[in-house]
């Protein structure tokens, strides 16, 4: 479920059609504003899933499919860390759109306790920095692990710090077991297959120096409880959690500790991690671009891999203009070396071969001016079709035809031989 910056749920309803044109701005974090040209009767909301997610300025209920929406800072339109979404239709004939403002740095701790799943660790904990898992622990291995060299050095140079993290992981495993029982009692459940999740963390916008924090719990795949930093209280996300939220809100000391945990303490850990891993985290790795296709009738896939950071734009263009029709976007995936990969498919079924060169695929890091482009060129497309097998089939066919011809020649020659000999 998408959350707004105050930690409360926003319902995205549709509004009435526009009647008067005017400009309205929604302010975020004092100096940054989301603007859209609109008419009365529709809503503009700030939404955010986690501290590592972008802040989404979402507008819905407007009547025209032609709209302008952008972020401002100090009265000037900004493009750094901004990503525009598509204009989408609502069921009532109105439209919705969004513009994301990406928070530059974030630190998040994801914890999960499960029961009833065979061959799955009962307890898993992950530390995630800027969307990348930097440390991992589960109840089977019983120790912290990482794939990043700079994190290994940090573990060695600050062993007490990481020993504390390890003890916290072990501690929260026991806490989760107790809290899971509370969740089950609140939901009138006993035994069976269940998943209990906890997410805590903070996000730092290095342009505004504004810090955000989040602390929430989920049960069996749904939001259950969320901590409201502005009110210093737990908010029930389901009716079954109401009694538990009331009980937790009576623990005043714990409420202040939670607020400090996801702001001050988390910010110290985030800052320390950024300093230790700056050579890795603040680098820029350009992608390797390629065009892929399964069969001649399949969409052409523009694939980018090996790039870092994750903040980027990638799209297809025709005659220099971004296009959306016939375009299908994939999901961002993490490579083993902690770089990323992504793809955008283009349906070419209605594109004449002579028009191919009018299309190109563009990759651009958010806020950067440089672009990496690949022309839609048949000679550049890689395919997994087995050309050798096709050649083999052709050779076999030729051999069969030649064999048939030889057999016919032999048969005709044999018949002529018999005739000459009076047989």
On the 0-12 / 13-18 / 19+ scale of CB atoms within 10 A, 351 is middle
Specify the DSSP class assigned to residue 287. P
What are the phi and psi torsion angles at 153 (to 5°)? -65, -40
Q: d(Cα 409, Cα 397) in Å, to the nearest integer? A: 18
Determine contact, residues 39/18, Cβ cutoff 8 Å: yes
Residue-wise pLDDT tens for the chain (423 aa)? 223 222 222 222 222 222 222 233 333 333 345 544 444 446 777 776 654 567 778 888 887 767 778 887 656 777 766 788 888 888 888 888 888 877 668 899 999 988 888 888 999 999 998 878 888 999 898 888 887 888 888 788 877 877 887 888 888 888 877 777 777 777 676 667 888 899 999 988 766 667 789 999 998 888 989 999 999 999 999 888 898 899 999 999 999 999 999 999 998 888 888 888 877 777 889 999 999 999 998 999 999 999 988 878 899 999 999 998 999 999 888 888 888 999 999 999 999 999 999 999 999 987 678 899 999 999 999 987 544 444 444 455 555 555 555 555 555 554 554 555 555
Q: Where are the domains of the chain?
A: 22-101, 105-281, 288-383, 396-423
Same fold, 105-281 and 288-383: no
Determine contact, residues 356/378, Cβ cutoff 8 Å: yes
Determine contact, residues 135/164, Cβ cutoff 8 Å: no
Please report the pLDDT score of residue 405 as a whole number.
57
Q: d(Cα 371, Cα 221) in Å, to the nearest integer? A: 39
Highest CATH level, class, for 22-101: mainly beta
Domain boundaries 105-281, corresponding CATH code: 3.30.500.10
Q: d(Cα 175, Cα 393) in Å, to the nearest integer? A: 65
Determine contact, residues 122/139, Cβ cutoff 8 Å: yes
State the architecture of 288-383 in CATH terms: Sandwich (2.60)
Please report the pLDDT score of residue 5 as a whole number.
27
The closest of 180, 24, 42, 206 to 111, measured between CA atoms, is 180
Determine contact, residues 44/34, Cβ cutoff 8 Å: yes
Q: What predicted TM-score, i.e. pTM, was given to this entire model?
A: 0.59
């Amino acid at each position: 479920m998408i959350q707004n910056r105050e930690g409360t749920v926003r319902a995205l309803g549709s509004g009435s059609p526009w009647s008067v044109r005017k400009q309205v701005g929604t302010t975020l974090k004092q100096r940054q504003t989301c603007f859209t040209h609109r008419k009365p009767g529709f809503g503009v909301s700030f939404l955010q899933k986690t501290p590592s997610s972008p802040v989404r300025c979402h507008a819905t209920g407007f009547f025209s499919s032609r709209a302008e929406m952008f972020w401002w800072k100090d009265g000037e339109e900004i493009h750094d860390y901004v990503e525009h979404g598509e204009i989408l239709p609502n069921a009532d004939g109105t439209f919705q759109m969004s513009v994301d403002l990406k928070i530059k740095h974030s630190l998040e701790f994801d914890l999960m306790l499960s029961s009833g799943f065979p061959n799955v660790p009962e307890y898993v904990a992950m530390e995630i920095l800027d969307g990348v898992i930097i440390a991992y622990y589960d109840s089977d291995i019983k120790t912290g692990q990482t794939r990043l060299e700079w994190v290994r050095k940090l573990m060695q140079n600050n062993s007490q710090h990481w020993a504390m993290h390890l003890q916290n992981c072990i501690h929260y495993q026991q806490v989760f077991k107790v809290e899971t029982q509370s969740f089950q009692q609140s939901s009138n459940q006993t035994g069976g297959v269940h998943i209990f999740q906890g997410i805590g963390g903070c996000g730092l916008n290095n342009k505004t120096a504004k810090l955000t924090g989040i602390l929430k719990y989920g049960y069996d795949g749904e939001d259950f409880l969320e901590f409201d930093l502005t009110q210093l209280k737990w908010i029930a996300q389901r009716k079954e959690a109401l009694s538990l939220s009331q009980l937790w809100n009576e623990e005043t000391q714990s409420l202040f500790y939670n607020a400090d945990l996801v702001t001050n303490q988390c910010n110290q850990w985030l800052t320390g991690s950024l300093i230790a891993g700056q050579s890795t985290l603040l680098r820029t790795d350009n992608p390797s671009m390629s065009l892929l296709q399964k069969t001649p009738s399949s969409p052409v896939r523009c694939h980018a891999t090996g790039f870092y950071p994750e903040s980027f734009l990638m799209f297809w263009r025709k005659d220099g203009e971004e296009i959306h029709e016939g375009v299908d976007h994939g999901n961002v995936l993490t490579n083993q070396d902690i770089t990323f990969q992504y793809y955008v498919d283009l349906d070419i079924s209605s594109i004449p071969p002579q028009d191919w060169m009018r299309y190109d695929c563009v990759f651009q890091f958010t806020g950067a001016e440089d672009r990496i482009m690949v022309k839609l060129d048949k000679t550049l497309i890689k395919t997994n079709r087995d050309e050798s097998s096709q050649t083999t089939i052709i050779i076999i066919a030729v051999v069969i035809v030649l064999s048939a011809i030889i057999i016919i020649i032999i048969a005709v020659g044999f018949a002529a031989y018999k005739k000459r000999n009076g047989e």
